[in-house]
Structure 1
């Protein structure tokens, strides 16, 4: 079963990623306190632990998942284009998957070769729009459905 393994946010542009074991995620703020959490198609970013491990293996280096600067880390899923338009459930939270998180030059500055290593097979993760307000916790179950579910 897939599960939530990490939660992070940044309070200032270009600032460090701050990790937490739980967070309130809302339709107006994204992951609470995240500087980029305003409503948009890229409100929350989600990274697959397996795809991150593939990236690190390719680079022959172990990097913290927060190097990717994603908000959420999930284990047990690998993202790809087939998930666009579907709903990612993390505990009671529902996120609409809007697209691929494209690697940027910040990845190259963090580690030479990282931008290129994240490019294939959606290794950079997915972008999402928050559909409902909910508290999430490390260890919450994660699943994907075709559409929003009433809670």
Structure 2
């Protein structure tokens, strides 16, 4: 079963990513203290650890997952178009997968070629909308249906 391998947030737009071991996630604000949490289709972002590691291997780099600027690192799951509309349950928290997270030019600022490496096969992760609030922590199990 997939699980949370990491949680990160940014307190200001384009600010540094801060890792936390646990946090609240609300319908109104997304990940607590994260600047992008307003309601909508891109409220919370998930990144597959396996897809991230494959992209880094392809570039022969060792780069922290937070360079992707996602909120939740998921171990044990890769994402695809078939996941759109599915519900991600982590304890009480429920998220709806709404779309692919398109890798932006900021990825090349982290490492040249990273944007292109994350483009195929939804390797850049997925965007989600919060359906039901909850509290999450690294190590929590994830159910996707």
* Alpha-carbon distance between aligned partners in 2 of 1:117 and 1:65, rounded to the nearest angstrom: 14
CA deviations over 1:75-118 (Å, ceiling 9, x no partner): 00000000000001122211000000000010011110000000
> Which residue is 1:64 aligned to?
64
Matches within 5 A, 1:54-93: 54-93=54-93
> Which residue is 1:8 aligned to?
8
- Partner SS for 1:124: coil
Deviation (angstroms), 1:40: 0.6
Deviation (angstroms), 1:143: 1.4
Structure 1, gaps ≥5 residues long: 146-151
Report how many aligned residue pairs link the two structures. 145
- Partner SS for 1:141: coil
TM, length-normalised to structure 1: 0.95
> Which residue is 1:132 aligned to?
132
Is 2:95 aligned against 1:95? yes
TM, length-normalised to structure 2: 0.98
> Which residue is 1:149 aligned to?
none
Is 2:27 aligned against 1:21? no
- Report which stretch shifted further, 33-42 or 90-99: 90-99
Give the RMSD, CA atoms, in angstroms: 0.6
Matches within 5 A, 1:94-133: 94-133=94-133
Displaced runs of 4 or more, over 4 A: none
CA deviations over 1:45-84 (Å, ceiling 9, x no partner): 0000000011001000010000000000010000000000
- Partner SS for 2:142: strand
* Alpha-carbon distance between aligned partners in 2 of 1:122 and 1:83, rounded to the nearest angstrom: 10
